[in-house]
Amino acid sequence: MIKFNMSFRRSPRLRNLIAITNNRFLPPVEMTSKFLFTIFRILILSLSISALSFAQDKNKIDFETCTFKEFPLNGKIQFVDSFPDITVQIVESFPDLKVKIVNSFPDGCGEWQIVESFPDVKIKIVDSFPDIKIKFVESFPGKP
């Protein structure tokens, strides 16, 4: 251990330097606890909001009635560029719905017949921020 021959009483500069660094780097306990409590509240609030948003994403398609926002996910489909009923993103993994293109009788969930007029649902294909994600399949359409 190093001993200093200089006394704090004789050196006001050293005494002031120690006092300044103690106040700067070691805040009072009251201020630290208030700061940590505020950070804790913000963390809990952000986690609860994110948990709520994930809970809403899981149940966005009603597979019992095969609908999304009261729009059927089977039947006659028209692809549009403006004023869609549903926006979809085509993905290869983790889809919300598997879709099979059929020529007639699109009765099952996820069976789509593409038409140019009188559609049941108008759909726009987007690259980001879709309402649902779909994957085109040759067999077993519907719930992934």
Question: 75-103: per-residue pLDDT in tens?
Answer: 999 999 999 999 999 999 999 999 999 99
Cα of 76 vs its chain's centroid, Å: 31
pTM for the predicted model, two decimal places: 0.59
pLDDT digits (tens, 9 = 90+) for 5-25: 555 556 666 666 665 555 555
Give one DSSP letter per residue of 52-101, joined into a string: HHHHHHHTSSBTTTTEETTEESSEEEEE-SSS-SEEEEE-SSS-SEEEEE
**Could you state, in order of their start, the residue ranges of all structural domains in the chain?**
12-58, 67-136
Judged by DSSP in three states, 124 sits in: strand
